[in-house]
Amino acid sequence: MHEYLNWMAKNTPTKWCNDSADVDDLRNALESGAIGCTTNPPLSYLTLTTSPEVFAAEVAKATGEPGDERAAQLIGVVVRHIAGLLTGVFEATGRVHGYVRAQVAPPLANDAEAMLSMGRLFASWAPNIMVKIPGTAAGVKVLEELAAEGIATTPTVNTTISQIIAVAEANERGIARAIAAGISPAPSTAAIVLGRLQDFLVALNEERAAGLSTYDLECAGIAVVKRAYRIVRERGYAQALMPAAFRCARQVTELAGADVVMTIHPAVQAAIAEADAAGTVARKLDAIDDEIDTEAVDRVSRALPEFVAAYEPDGLEPAQFGSFGANVMTLENFDVNGWQKLKTL
């Protein structure tokens, strides 16, 4: 059991999910207070290739030819299996928690019609599936449509506060349309992938010899989440924030106490357990309210204008979401290391 994460789940409003499609990882996480699971194409490919015996019967039933149809079918094999494992949590919480998140094809990030069709397909597999749609301009439109149909969503590939506001507003519009049509609104969690932003800033820092430390760049990611969280709370959005893609233990522990749904990879879960055992983690009920190191954030702001674009609420226009460097890197990773491999598996 992960003692810190179990403590956080029991004593603060902060909820968390397992950021892995591995069945053993999920079981361990559930024992430590996790309330759901997050998958993406690379994670689905990894579990299908490292634990083939778990999915062999269902994989044998997949009939799609190599290509996008095959990849979607294999995503379904993983996601339906996990949805079944989470049914108990889903029912015990009145269908509030116990969701598994399934991501549409990364190459479709700018094709609203294709993403909407795939999103509907994914949602049809089980009642406790959240459809992951990228926070591109096209994705924002799809999110509204899915919300209007009462389909649970997780907008993903959000590395900027501008995107978080856009997807939250889209969800609000969709909820209003659903209610008007007599449809019960579905929950939504907006993934803010701070580690993906950090990866992008690390690359820029090295390319430009900007001299920023790892500590500075870790602070930058935390600062974006804290500012996004304040905005979400102040505006009263129905959509919950989902901090994701953590790169170190303190990016989790310094957000504890927030009314969010984190998604935490097993490697970071282990890092938190190690830090907790070493006595370097403070079990604060309201760490989210602590100010981030402003000097570190200022250093990053001065050195990297791309961080400013991510940090300011009006830093990007929707048309720029898909071309922002951190989002391009993230979508390429999901595609190359997941979707393309699934197509021929």
CATH topology of domain 3-342: TIM Barrel (3.20.20)
User: Are 245 and 195 in contact, with CB atoms under 8 Å apart?
Assistant: yes
Output the six-digit token pair for 229: 């969280």
| Dihedral sign (CA 63, 68, 73, 75) | positive
Q: What is the pLDDT of residues 26-60, one digit of tens each?
A: 999 999 999 999 999 999 999 999 999 999 999 99
Please give the backbone phi and psi of residue 190, each rounded to the nearest 5 degrees, phi first: -95, 110
pTM value surpassing 0.95: yes
Give the position of tokens 């310094």: 254
DSSP 198-250: HHHHHHHHHHHT----HHHHHHHHHHHHHHHHHHHHHHT-SSEEEEE---STH
- pLDDT of residue 1 exceeding 90: no
Q: What is the pLDDT of residues 268-325, one digit of tens each?
A: 999 999 999 999 998 999 999 999 999 999 999 999 999 999 999 999 999 999 999 9
